[in-house]
Structure 1
């Protein structure tokens, strides 16, 4: 299928050929008929992409500060590589989609194949959208009209926050598409509406809908005019739908408002507020969030849990329904707003001149398509089995930024990448010369050429996909963690034992040249005979509480999902396995997960470890630090860039570019798959690390030390693991 994307690095708008998405639980697969181009939002993306690197930096000064902090901690080259990787990730365009339901995912009972629906799907021939972002279209509403559903809800949500009453005067600043829809909806609400814009075409459309118009470009002072129109009282409310960098609009809104007036921002403007202007009138100001309650809430949007109507009357989905109801009764008329309808393959008609466009609403039309194709072949390559041919499941940020480059540098032959939506996988396939992009990961499992399956999905899928890959006769590399719950471990162990294949979890840090040097200095394979204390600190940085990472059932929390790196590293350095853990977290109440805690580890050989995992530190400070104390000697590793030794003969310092061991990990793994040999990490250690982090969460909940049983779950087999 075809999908429109925007390249933020060079500003190009491209129609990509990508595999159609798979319908998943709680989602709806839709064949697109129409989509509306949000000229304001999409113009900003296009212009940002076309801007120079310096201009991009000026537009995002907060990001510049983050870059400078990262340079100080990680070094110049790794930081620049990260910046260019980020800019090289094209964004899907569009969020106003109309089409026909092709399939419904598990758990959906109120939509059927063949239903016409509107959604916030992108400009693509097929889209897969969560149920709460999909709404059925009434028969009386055409596809063209229904394309205004989502963008109309944006204006409607701004009105709901303003809470106007019958007869009030409301000013709408900016009469673009959202502004015109907002003004018309306010009229339907019984308000007297004043519209401000400098484009006479838009003002003419507004007047045709009974809106009083003001044009500052002809010398009219908006504040004076509004005060005059309201008898010196001022507007009851102001909704700003314009997009500009200046602070003048918020100042004008304050000065034209009555005492205790309300101001709502829907657009994007400068926000240096004057305290005096707001203080004297006791004005209220609120920023509207997109379509309404539920937006950006993982539980509502992705998991499909609706808010109870008696308590949250207007969710984003119910706002969608309201717009469609108004369209079906003819109360809301969007037909005059349609400037053009353009076939998808002629998209440059719109985007080629988007910076100069005077269109109000541009629609893309889609051809009748054939069967849904789950894979796209980008190049033809013949592979020899048992040569380290790789299939990758997952195409997120980590895969693109770290995993795929490391796989290639490690000598892997990449054949297929599977991603849920298809776009990310296809873009990464093209960048890394991967032959096939698919949305059906089973194509990887059934491909006889593929020896190694690399799993880099959300954490809740790791256990199931590992088991499926092993049962398909594949070697497995799975990003940490191995699993999220204790009852997932035995099936993994059984599948591994039955398959005779290698399993490696992505504990890359032990493969860093710094970790390897530390191991050698501490006695190499005999390090288990040397008593030691190790302190590892991760200045992890905060992740929003709403992130899936914190969800116990999806991400597992950051101790399980990230601190496990250091359990493995300490296990590697001490040459022993964990026998007991105690997790102490910041805060007073027991919790399922935490991201600011100290994990105490007791090892079988008497060694101890402390992992300080903190999310409340400064980003300007180095992210990772490891200290080893043993036999009156000390090693200090700073951010995997510098290793310093104290008390060691013939060693003081090792300095490199930041190297966390990703490339070396894959170089060794590909070599093992091609040539056979011992596993890179003994399976017993993988299980022990997983048990230790699971036990840490038990410790957090129960407030005590928790033992890690080394014998009941897994007894190591003395025979070699894996085959060629």
Structure 2
């Protein structure tokens, strides 16, 4: 397939060839016939990509504060690497897609291949979209007209929040694409409408749709014009669809509104408000969220859980359907809004027009090329000429495949394996595009969207699995049974059944299994281990993970998908303590915050105490309620009259420790590269596994028991 991507670091807009995505549960796979460029949103993204680093920082002060906090905890160089990596990830453009259903995923029963649908899919000739973000197109609505559905739904949601009634006077400030659609929908609602804009051509279109107009560029006063339009009473409502850094649209809206008028912000403006303007009239001000209820709710969008119609009449999907009904009836006319048409293969030219022609409104991309060639699941990357190019295996060599191309894989693991000398064969992601982006950058020979084909590939003898947590166990077991050495990111499994499956597959396989417990390979941890091994006395450990809060609806918090933060992240420190103690875990005790009346129970604020066979013990404080300026990770060990303290894998200090005072690194090193090197060396040499398999399974079992105990309120388990 082909897809439009925006380079957020340098500003280029490109059309890339990528593997077609696979159909997944609750999703539709759609062959695109036409898509619409959203001139407001997409122009803003393109302009942001072209801006200098300083301009980017000025436009996102909240992100700058996050960067400064990260410098304090992780160090300057690590933070610089993270920022560069983030900006280097191209952004898919587009959210106004029309096409025909090619395939339906599991759990979808109300759609069939061949159905004509509108969705918020990106500019790509094959898109995968959750079923709740699609709507059926009536026979009387053309593909071109239907492509305006999603942008119109943005305006419609603003209208719903403003709750206009028949005969009310409304102002629409900023009549770009969404503004002109909003004018028409308000007119269809029976409202009198005035449009404000600096562009006379757009105002002419608004007049054609039945609105009165005001042009500040011609010296007209918006507030005076609105007062005259409302017959001196003040307008009933203002919908702001403008995009500007100025706070004037909001200030003017307040001054032109009647008492208890309604103001809804659909666009983007400055928000320096005068309290007096709002206080004296008791004005209502609300910011509209995209297409409507359900937006950004993972349960609704990705999970397919609809809201009951009797309680939420207008969801984002039902807003799509309402717009399509208006198009079908003729109440909404989008034909005057189309200013440019381009073949999809000429998409970069369309974005050049978007940047240079500020009068452009509806820019349509037409997908007239053949459908079957779009559905290729593997592509050879630029500069690679065949399946063995650059990755032919020598006896004992490691030829790597990667399943998963997300942020951690691309920013940490792939560079670590590449630096360690891995020969990179194929990288796979279910969506396809990220495998091309990161595969091209790292030097993979192929990009794929078919993980089963990567597992079966004979030229690959080692696999890295860096997918969502719920897929780790099944993919690991399949890869081991296919005769591959496996490096799997933590956690190894989310439940006992998955763990048993991996153990059985490993027992049948003569291949290495490695979990990405990189911290035990960090240079300062190796120093600690060397110092601790010199004493035979039991040790006491205090390990603090100042994890920081993440939303409760984030996928890692979902027990079914991410396993929760104890299984998904605290396992790092259970393994690390096991490594430093050098002794089997014999007991585990855990306590969570919230076991008291009136306090919310949370798994990610917990203390875990482990006991070891040699008499050592330690406590892991996994906390999501700490300050961001405090070290994210602190490790303290007490033994033989001395103490070792490590902060953030940057500064290791010894207190009363004979022969050791401190070890400071210039750059944070959590051991990712050394971890990859150890795995590759074991594959090449055929020696012992870097982490014994019985330790991997021991840590996995203890982690599952701790999480189960925290969830059930059972605080103690004896091994």
> Aligning the two structures, in what range does the TM-score lie when normalised by the shorter sequence?
over 0.9
Aligned to 1:316: 316
How much has 1:618 moved relative to structure 2? 2.1
**Correspondence for 1:672 among 673, 682, 692:** 682
Once the two structures are TM-superposed, the CA of residue 599 in structure 1 deviates from its matched residue by 1.7
Question: Alpha-carbon deviation of 1:350?
Answer: 2.0
- Could you tell me which residue of structure 2 aligns to residue 701 of structure 1? 711
**Cα distance in 1 for residues equivalent to 2:118 and 2:353:** 27
Aligned pairs for 1:507-522 (under 5 A) are: 507-522=517-532
Deviations 1:664-704 (A, max 9, x none): 00111101001011111111211121122211222223333
Instruction: Give the Cα separation in 2 of the matches to 1:604 and 1:213.
Output: 81
Answer yes or no: is 1:547 the counterpart of 2:557.
no
Q: Answer yes or no: is the 8 Å Cα contact 1:552–1:592 preserved in 2.
A: no
Q: Distance in 1 between matches of 2:699 and 2:687?
A: 22
**Cα RMSD after superposing both structures:** 1.4
Following the alignment from structure 1 to structure 2, what is the Cα–Cα distance between the partners of residues 480 and 686?
A: 10
Find the residue that maps to 1:583 and give its secondary structure: strand
Which has the higher mean CA deviation after the structures are superposed, 250-259 or 376-385? 376-385
Matched position secondary structure for 1:352 = helix
Which residues of 2 match residues 49-88 of structure 1 at below 5 A? 49-88=49-88
Give SS of 1:353's match: helix
Q: Distance in 1 between matches of 2:333 and 2:414?
A: 50
Is residue 594–residue 601 contact of structure 2 (8 Å, CA) maintained in 1? no
Distance 2:645 2:138 in 1: 67
Q: Which residue of 2 aligns with 1:571?
A: 578
Query: Could you say which residue in structure 2 is the equivalent of 1:646?
Result: 655
Report the equivalent of 2:376. Answer: 373
Q: Which residue is 1:598 aligned to? A: 607
The structure 1 residue matched to 2:695, chosen from 682, 685, 695, is 685
SS class of match (1:461): helix
Matched, 1:419 2:429: yes
Cα deviation digits, residues 169-212 of structure 1 (max 9, x gap) = 11111100001111111111111111111111110111011011
Say whether the 8 Å CA contact 1:29–1:129 is kept in structure 2: yes
CA distance in 1, matches of 2:480, 2:547: 33
Residues 523-579 of structure 1: CA distance to partner in whole angstroms, max 9, x if unpaired?
16xx6x431110111111221222111111111111110111111100000012323
Change (3 A) 1:202 1:46: same
Q: Which whole-Å CA distance do the structure 2 matches of 1:421 and 1:94 have between them?
A: 16
Give 1:593 shift: 5.7
Q: How does 1:5-20 map to 2 (within 5 A)?
A: 5-20=5-20
CA contact (8 A) 1:592 1:697 kept: no
Q: Is 2:591–2:715's contact at 8 Å kept on the other side of the alignment?
A: no
Quick check: 1:153–1:291 contact (8 Å CA) kept in 2? yes
Say whether the 8 Å CA contact 1:184–1:332 is kept in structure 2: yes
> 2:426, 2:454 within 8 Å by CA — same for their partners in 1?
yes
Alignment partners' CA distance in 1, 2:590 and 2:274: 48
The equivalences for 1:144-159 within 5 A come to 144-159=144-159
Provide the rounded CA distance (Å) in 1 between the counterparts of 2:707 and 2:12.
47
Task: State the alpha-carbon separation in 1 of the partners of residues 244 and 310 from structure 2.
Answer: 38
TM-score (norm 2): 0.96
Contact 2:223-2:252 within 8 A present in 1 as well: yes
Match of 2:489 in 1: 479
State the match for 1:720 in structure 2: none
State which drifts further: 238-247 or 649-658: 649-658
8 Å CA contact 2:595–2:601 kept in 1: the answer is no
Describe the shift of the 1:594–1:272 C-alpha distance in structure 2 as closer, same or farther (beyond 3 A).
farther
Listed as ranges, the gaps of 5+ residues in structure 2 are none
Deviation at 1:592, TM superposition (A): 8.4
Between stretches 393-402 and 677-686, larger displacement belongs to 677-686
- What SS does the corresponding residue of 1:581 show, helix, strand or coil? strand
Q: Which residue of 2 aligns with 1:497?
A: 507
1:238-289 per-residue CA deviation (whole Å, 9 max, x = no partner) reads 1111101111111111111111111111111111222111111111111111
Give the aligned partner of residue 629 of structure 2.
620
SS at match of 1:595: strand
Report deviation, 1:435.
0.6
2:640 match: 631
Matches of 1:692 and 1:252 in 2, distance apart? 62
8 Å contact from structure 2 (residues 474, 501) kept in 1: no
Q: For residue 465 of structure 2, what is the aligned residue in structure 1?
A: 455
Residue 604 of structure 1 deviates from its aligned partner by: 2.6
What does residue range 410-449 of structure 1 map to in structure 2 within 5 Å?
Answer: 410-449=420-459
Q: Is the 8 A contact 2:27 2:105 kept in 1?
A: yes
Aligned equivalents of 1:40, 1:580: Cα separation in 2: 59
**Aligned-residue offset at 1:708:** 5.2
Provide the rounded CA distance (Å) in 1 between the counterparts of 2:348 and 2:463.
Answer: 39
Query: Which residue does the alignment assign to 1:557?
Result: 564
Tell me the alpha carbon deviations over residues 195-233 of structure 1, each in whole angstroms, 9 at most, x when there is no partner. 111111110111011011111111111111111221222
In structure 1, the residue corresponding to 2:280 is in which secondary structure?
Answer: helix
Cα distance in 2 between the residues matched to 1:495 and 1:303: 31
How far is 1:146 from its partner? Answer: 0.7
Q: Is the 8 A contact 2:592 2:602 kept in 1?
A: no
Unaligned runs of 5+ in 1: 710-724
Q: For 2:108 and 2:143, how far apart are their aligned partners in 1?
A: 23
Q: CA–CA distance in 1 between the matches of 2:533 and 2:24?
A: 51
- Per mean C-alpha deviation after superposition, the further-off stretch among 590-599 and 15-24 is 590-599
Any conservation in 2 of the 1:532–1:629 contact (CA below 8 Å)? yes
Q: Which residue of 1 aligns with 2:539?
A: 532
CA distance in 2, matches of 1:613, 1:707: 18
Contact 1:552-1:593 at 8 Å conserved across structures: no
- Would the alpha carbon gap of residues 708 and 477 (structure 1) be closer, same or farther in structure 2, given more than 3 Å must change? farther
The alignment of Structure 1 onto Structure 2 pairs a total of residues equal to: 706
- Alpha-carbon displacement from aligned partner over 1:312-342 (angstroms, at most 9, x marks no partner): 1111111111111111111111111111211
Matching residue of 2:591: 584
Query: Which piece of structure 1 moves more, 287-296 or 230-239?
Result: 230-239
Contact 1:558/1:593, CA 8 A, preserved across alignment:
no
Displacement of 1:588 after TM fit? Answer: 3.4
Counterpart for residue 237 of structure 1? 237
Partner of 1:716: none
Aligned partners of 2:117 and 2:136 also within 8 Å: yes
1:162 counterpart residue number = 162
Q: Does the CA contact (< 8 Å) of 1:21 and 1:128 recur in 2?
A: yes
CA offset digits 1:636-669 (Å, max 9, x no partner): 0010011111222221111112100000001111
| Structure 2 residue aligned with 1:717 | none
Distance 1:495 1:227 in 2: 76
- 8 Å CA contact retained: 1:480, 1:562: yes
Does the CA contact (< 8 Å) of 2:137 and 2:146 recur in 1?
yes
2-structure distance, mates of 1:708, 1:551: 27
